[in-house]
Amino acid sequence: MTDQDFIPKPYINTVKSGSFTWASPSNIALVKYWGKKEHQIPENPSISFTLDNCKTTTKLSFSKNENTNNFSFEVFLDDEKKDDFKPKIETFFKRVEAYLPFLKDYHFKIETSNTFPHSSGIASSASGLSALALCLMSVEKELMNTSVIPSAVEESQNQSFFIQKASFLARLGSGSACRSLEGDLVVWGKHEKIEGSSDLFGVKYPYEVHDNFKNYQDTILLVDKGEKQVSSTVGHKLMFGHPFAKERFTQAHDNLAKLKTILASGDLNAFVKIIESEALTLHAMMMTSMPYFILMKPNTLEIINKIWKYRAEANSNVCFTLDAGANVHVLYAESEKEAVLDFIRNELAKHCQNEHYICDHIGLGANQIGF
């Protein structure tokens, strides 16, 4: 497939106005995407667990617009107008306009809310942009609707194209957003051992996964709720000319191949090693870029050390991962839930801002609301 496959045929319907609502979750990468080429093409493949509780709900209302030269839209977060969100959405609209040629024909009202606090340090771009991409796909579906009832096979093809294009669009907004549409594991980026994997969109992990990974838990420890000093977008750019870039991209391919074996065998011991190494390598890339930067905080390291100690003492397989920030994602099997939650409450919560943490687990992806 190429990006040309996402340019639609001329629309057959005219629709004056309407609205669609989608809820889409966040995701946490196990093998990290860090470094990209032009047009949001990743330098290496990544894989993530889709989350369940951390999500964004977006209602997109649209009405026919006479002015067709500019994008016309307004954005609200929790019913409050958010003009500072507009530049990111304007950039997104520009990037996807060729694939959604109706964008300038409508005025859009985007009303969004997150289940997690906005100032939690949890990035809402993955959940937010995937929810918006899905709403836009619902508009397109309406514009393409024919009165002909599709066969079951056509319906399923249409449905998988809908998700694929939504993921393609979400990627153009924020790379990791393309991994939020489905569950429970999603791969983005071409990998020779993962059938159907693509640089253009996320695909559901296509192989059987061992029961050990069913309903895996992710407790997010909110170490620092402040705005990050360096955005992911800037961080990705620093992989250009990075002295370790080539090795890092090769390592990500190798780690994903190893993870494929681990996901099948259920080897939690091996899982922990790959996951933590990926997290630390991500931050090592930040520390060794020019300019260099550190997103971990003293409490991030306190938590990591306590996890290592607990793991050794309790003979546990709990592990951590990090995204581009100071917060720690504590990952563990459902069978360890009670013990690890006790450990978090007693030992780790004190290292979080206001003792705040969010309990989440693997989820099944986005869903449309109220239709």
The single residue among 6, 20, 22, 33 that binds ligand DP6, judged by CB under 6 A, is 33
| Closest separation in Å from C-beta 13 to ligand DP6 | 33
Nearer of residues 123 and 352 to ligand DP6, judged by Cβ: 123
| Closest separation in Å from C-beta 125 to ligand DP6 | 5
**Residue 233 touches ligand DP6, criterion: CB under 6 A:** yes
| Closest separation in Å from C-beta 322 to ligand DP6 | 8
**Residue 199 touches ligand DP6, criterion: CB under 6 A:** no
| Closest separation in Å from C-beta 31 to ligand DP6 | 8
The single residue among 26, 125, 164, 198 that binds ligand DP6, judged by CB under 6 A, is 125
Site string for ligand DP6, 235-264 (x = CB under 6 A): -x----------------------------
Q: Which stretch binds ligand DP6 (CB under 6 A): 32-40, 105-113, 290-298, 345-353?
A: 32-40
Non-local CB neighbours of 87 within 8 Å, separated by 6+ positions: none
The single residue among 21, 24, 46, 217 that binds ligand DP6, judged by CB under 6 A, is 46
**Residue 132 touches ligand DP6, criterion: CB under 6 A:** no
**Residue 321 touches ligand DP6, criterion: CB under 6 A:** no
| Closest separation in Å from C-beta 208 to ligand DP6 | 23
**Residue 130 touches ligand DP6, criterion: CB under 6 A:** no
| Near ligand DP6 in 149-178, by CB under 6 A | 174-176
**Residue 121 touches ligand DP6, criterion: CB under 6 A:** no
What is the SS3 string spanning the chain?
CCHHHHCCCCCCCCCCEEEEEEEEEEEEEEECCCCEEHHHEECCCEEEEEEEEEEEEEEEEEEECCCCCCCEEEEEECCEECHHHHHHHHHHHHHHHHHCCCHHHEEEEEEEEECCCHHHCCCCHHHHHHHHHHHHHHHHHHHHCCCCCCCHHHHHHHHHHHHHHHHHHHHHHCHHHHHCCECCEEEECCCCCCCCCCCCCEEECCCCCCHHHCCCEEEEECCCCCCCCCCHHHHHHCCCCCCCHHHHHHHHHHHHHHHHHHHHHCCHHHHHHHHHHHHHHHHHHHHCCCCCCCCCCHHHHHHHHHHHHHHHHHCCCCEEEECCCCCEEEEECHHHHHHHHHHHHHHHHHHCHHHCEEEEEECCECEEECC
Q: CA-to-CA distance for 268 and 371, rounded, in angstroms?
A: 41
The single residue among 232, 299, 316, 353 that binds ligand DP6, judged by CB under 6 A, is 232
Tokens 């051992």 found at: 193
Size of site (CB under 6 A) for ligand DP6: 17
The single residue among 323, 332, 361, 365 that binds ligand DP6, judged by CB under 6 A, is 323
Query: For residues 204 and 163, is the Cβ–Cβ distance under 8 A?
Result: no
**Residue 200 touches ligand DP6, criterion: CB under 6 A:** no
| Near ligand DP6 in 258-317, by CB under 6 A | 282
Nearer of residues 276 and 316 to ligand DP6, judged by Cβ: 276
The site for ligand DP6 (CB under 6 A) is made up of: 29, 32-34, 40, 46, 123, 125, 174-176, 232-233, 236, 282, 323-324
